[in-house]
Every structure is written in structure tokens, then in C-alpha cells.
Amino acid sequence: MTISSQLEAKLRAASGHADARVQPATDTRFGDYQTNIAMILAKQQRANPRQLAQEIIDKLDTAEMCEPPEIAGAGFINFRLKPMWLAERFAVLAADEKLGISAPVRPKKYVIDFSSPNVAKPMHVGHIRSTILGDALARIAAFIGHTVVRDNHIGDWGTQFGMLLHGWKNELNHAALEADPLGEMERLYKLVSARCKEDPATLDAVHHELVELQGGNEENLVLWREMQRLSQAQFDVIYSRLGISFDVTLGESFYNQWLWKVVDELVARGIARESEGALCVFSDGSVPEKEDPFLISRDGQWVDMPALVQKADGAANYTTTDLATLAYRLREFAPDEILYVTDGRQQHHFRQLFAIFRRWHPEVSARLAHVWFGSILGDDGKPFKTRSGETIKLAGLLDEAEERAFAIVSEKNPALPEAERREIARVIGLGAVKYADLLPNRQSDYVFSWDKMLALQGNTAPYLQNAYVRIRSIFRKAVEAGINSQSSTIILSEPAELVLAKKLFQFGEVLPQVLDDCRPNLLCNYLYELASTFHSFFEACHVLKADEASRASRLTLCEVTARTLQRGLGLLGIEVPERM
């Protein structure tokens, strides 16, 4: 059990409140943990919160682990941990492969939908957030002890394939296709798309190719499958660079077989009805107007904003496909939660999607969540693009990250062999991009800055990686000096030792919160605080020059810190080098 969970168990017993909670103290001068349970109960009971706090303290059984609890302010109860109690339990933490992460009482199964590039288009900067955030959540959930299905929902169907097929048959540059398949397919799409706006004959030809594809024309199906194959091959190169894998990769086309069944069932149950030739889902009045995804306020009046599930021409759309996909995932995987990791512009779509599905399948208890995120901005505060205004390709951005890191590594360590500098640059460059994306609150926009993300100072991946490298260098020096001992007996006599030990115990408390809120920035901030705490410890306490008992104890503190940094960064999808 984590320290907070132990305190909460004792607090529940003393207060009689099943949901009593503690949190790290906002000001460590007054304690390590605090609770406002007395204030919550006092409000319910119309009692004096400080008096109620004292009554709870009188019943608390925390003498073994804490100094006598204290009352502060309007009725906060503060807890200060005993150094001896912490020291005795640190050996358990040091021996724990999971670094204090408790196994979940009831493990869940998660389906996490993330990344989702489109066939025939290169992955670009807009795919960073979904790909990196989804991967981090999947890693964290699996490490905690849950089952995770990583699902990549590929965009491989739609009107754009009529343009691509027409371009492929009439304008294809075979040499360009061999050199850069996605680049050539993107060129074809842009070329034909522009012509469609000016030439009705081209538009008709494109429509014909699309109809033939949807009708099962073998020639078009063969070309379409080749587009899928070439696209996936290049997607896999990006995923391999980023260290990302999926359990399921299915295109939108996979779900076509169920689309009309979905529509028929929605109509049969009265969920969807005809409107101007299309089939739509309207509000059923079951929720307040402000919360209803099928209504919108205009000129002070609430008017219909229905969800389209079949167009007037009989075609399905994204909502139809997503409903079929959701039903498939529930049948195939029986998950407890399905997380959709996409940008904030799709919030309304998912509100409608989840509402429709609940009306269609009210018996389903699985939690459906849209884990949305903000945009990546340039220095001008606008969406991050090239100077010429084009979308930045993800492969090119990763290349630049590694090259910029290589320049820094070469400047600081020119004597290292080039191959080693390249490998260090790869780890630092890719880690910097990932960390810069995960550090902000995911619902906030952030400004992309090479200088900031590659800095060795501040809350950056290179700073954390350097903290790990610094610790590893301590152990290399220890080996050179013939010192290789650590200790199960921990001495926390110095304030800096005590602060570091407390911070290490918090890893097991932070990680579940990250998953609960789908906010990896909580882990980023914890790791930064840990690295800063370690540096303060290292400045205040000699390690290799200390007496034998203190040296062995401090080496153990160092080792657990290094493991926690490595593990924490690894859960964010970030590697650590042994040298920098």
C-alpha cells in the first residue's frame, strides 16, 4: 500500500467516512500529507470543523507512522511522517520492481484508440499529440496492472479515394512512387482535387472511380489495397522510430459490413428518423438543454442540431462508422473503458456518438471517454506550419530533432565516436519532442520551441535524462574506486535524505492519478520535482566520500532515484542514455 492509502484507511476508520482522502501537503513546513475531511463532515453535520478535526485525531491510529497530527486553518488535519518509519520501509520500496505501484483491486480492460493516420497521406505534426499521448496512457495502464488493447483506427475509406484512383491511373510517376510512396500519393490527391474544382469532366471521372471502388471493381480494389500497403509500410517506419506498437490496426473499411445494420436498427428503435431525405438522430429531451449534444443555442432559442447517420444519397458517414466500430470493440474485447485520443475539435462529435450509442445499447456499462487535446502552435500563435505555410511532415520533424540534438551532443562531447553521438542524439531528440508534447495540460495549446524542449535546464526531457546520467556516473566512479555496496538499512538523518525518500514514495501515488485523469503531465511534473530533489540531495550530501554506512544508504537512494527516473520516462515512451 502507498503511504497515502495507508493514511486513508486509518482516516476512514477514525472518521467513519468511506471516501476520506489525503493529499500531499501544499506547504511541507506544516507536514507531509493533509486532509480536509473534517471540513467536509462539518458542513454536512453543521458542526465546528476544528472541533470535529480533534475528534477524528483522538480516534486516529497513526502513532507508528506519524508524529501527532495537527489541526491547521479552518480544520485541515496535517500528518508528518516519522523518519524512522520511512527508513524502515524504504528497503521494501528499493526491492520492489514496480517501485511502490499497488496492483489494482479490480484490473480493467482498456481499449485505447489513438494515432489514426489516413491512408495515402504522410503523417504530419498534427498526429504527434494523439500518437504520443495515446502511447503514454497505454504504457501507464499496462504497468499499473490493467489489460490494454492499443487500437489504430486507420482512415482508408471515403471520397478522396476516387481522386487517388483517377490520379493513379492517369498521372502516376512510378519513380516518385518507389522513392516516396506517400509523397507521390499526396501529390496525386492535390493535383486531382484542384482539377475537380475547375473541370466538371474530371469531377465526373473521380465520382465514377469511387462508385466502382465501392461497388467492388477488382481493378480499383487492387489499387486501393496497394495504397493501403504502401501507406502502412511508411506508418510503421514512424512508429518504429517512436517505439510505438499496436495490438489492432483496422481501417474504416473493415466496418463497412455493419453500417447498414446500424442504420436499420437505429430507425427500427426510433432513434433515427428521416429529415430532408437523410436519416438523423435528434434530441430525445432526456437531458437539460445546456447538456444536450443534439441542441444548439441560437438567438436565445434552443434549436435542433441532429447527428447525421445516413446522407440523403444513401451514403454512411463518420458517425455511422464510429457506431459500428464501437459495437465491434465491445463485442470483440469486452472492455471496461474505451478511450478515444483525438484533438478538441471533435468534442461535439464524440458527445453525440456516445449519446446515440447509449440510446442504442442502454445495457452497456463500459465507460466511453473522449481524451481530447489542444493544438500545437508556432511562435506566431497560429497552428504550427512551415514558413511557406505547409503542414510539417512528422518524419522531417523527427529528423530535425535528432540533428539538433546531435549538434548539442557533438559540442559537449566531441571526443565520443560519431556512432555513439548519433545514438545519444536519437534518444535525446525524440525524447525532447515527446516530453514537450506531454508536459502541458493536454487540453491546452502549446507553442513548439526547439530551444526550450532541448534545453538542459528547466522542465525538459534532456534535464531529466541528464539527471539519470549523473546518477549512473556516480556508480561508474564507485566501481572504479572498488565500491559496489548498497544497503537495505537506510539512514535518513539529513533533511535532504528525508526529502528525497519522501519524494520517491510518491511515485506509487502519482501514477494512478495520471490514468484516472488521462493527464501524463502529472507524471512529467513529478519526475521534474524528483530530479530537482535529487540534485538538492547531491549538493547537500556526499555520497562516495561519506562514511561506510551513510555511503551505502545514499547509494541505495541514488539507485532507486535512477530507476524511478528511467521507469517514469519509459512510461512516457522516452529512453535514457548512459552518457550525454
Q: Into how many domains does the chain fold? A: 2
pLDDT digits (tens, 9 = 90+) for 304-355: 999 999 999 888 899 999 999 999 999 999 999 999 999 999 999 999 999 9
Q: What is the pLDDT of residue 157?
A: 93
Q: Is residue 164 part of a domain?
A: no
Tell me the average pLDDT across 420-438.
97
pLDDT of residue 315: 85
Which amino acid is located at 330 in the chain? L
Write down the H helix ranges in 243-289. Answer: 256-268
> Distance between CA atoms of 143 and 139, rounded to whole angstroms?
6
Kindly state the cell numbers that stand for 423: 545514438
Q: Which of 561, 527, 342, 516 is nearest to 443 (CA)?
A: 342
Domain membership flag for residue 454? yes
Residue 463 lies in a domain: yes
Q: Residue 21's domain spans which residues? A: 3-81
pLDDT number for residue 126: 87
Among 81, 96, 119, which residue terminates a domain? 81
Query: Strand, coil or helix: what is 353?
Result: helix
Predicted local distance difference test score (pLDDT) of residue 179: 94
Whether residue 263 has pLDDT greater than 80: yes
Q: What percent of the chain has pLDDT over 90?
A: 91
Cα–Cα distance for residue pair 391/13, rounded to 1 Å: 58
Give a yes or no: residue 539 inside a domain. Answer: yes
Strands 272-275 and 278-281: antiparallel
pLDDT for 508 equals 94
**Which residues neighbour 266 within 8 Å (Cβ) at sequence distance 6 or greater?**
272, 279, 281, 309, 323, 356, 360
**Looking at residue 386, what is its pLDDT?**
77
Report residue 8's pLDDT band, with 50, 70 and 90 as the boundaries.
very high
| Side-chain half-sphere exposure of 534, counting CA atoms within 13 A | 30
Strands 446-447 and 295-298: unpaired
Q: Does residue 70 contact residue 30 with C-beta atoms inside 8 Å?
A: yes
Domain boundary among 59, 81, 103: 81
pLDDT at 301 over 80: yes
Is 488's pLDDT higher than 90? no
Instruction: Indicate the pLDDT class of residue 175, thresholds 50, 70 and 90.
Output: very high
Q: Is the pLDDT of residue 487 over 90?
A: no
User: Does some domain include residue 198?
Assistant: no
Residue partners of 315: CB distance under 8 A and separation at least 6: none
DSSP helix/strand/coil, 280:
strand
CATH code of the domain covering residue 66: 3.30.1360.70
Query: What's the rounded Cα separation, in Å, for the pair 580 and 576?
Result: 10
| CATH number reported for the structural domain that contains residue 531 in this entry | 1.10.730.10
Classify residue 460: in a domain, yes or no. Answer: yes
pLDDT score at 560: 97
pLDDT at 497 over 80: yes
Q: Which three cell numbers stand for residue 34?
A: 493533509
Measured from the Cβ of residue 509, the count of other Cβ atoms closer than 10 Å reads 20
Does residue 563 belong to any structural domain of this protein?
A: yes
Domain end, chosen from 25, 51, 81, is at: 81
534 assigned to some structural domain: yes
Q: Which amino acid is at 351?
A: R
Using the CB atoms, write b or e for 41-58: b if 16+ within 10 Å.
bbeeeeeebbebbeebbe
Q: What is the pLDDT of residue 429?
A: 98
> For the purposes of burial, counting CB atoms within 10 Å of the CB of 172, is it exposed (0-12), middle (13-18) or buried (19 or more)?
middle
Q: Which of 161, 153, 282, 180 is nearest to 223 (CA)?
A: 161
Per-residue pLDDT, averaged over 198-217, amounts to 93
pLDDT value of residue 112: 98
CA distance 150 to 462: 28
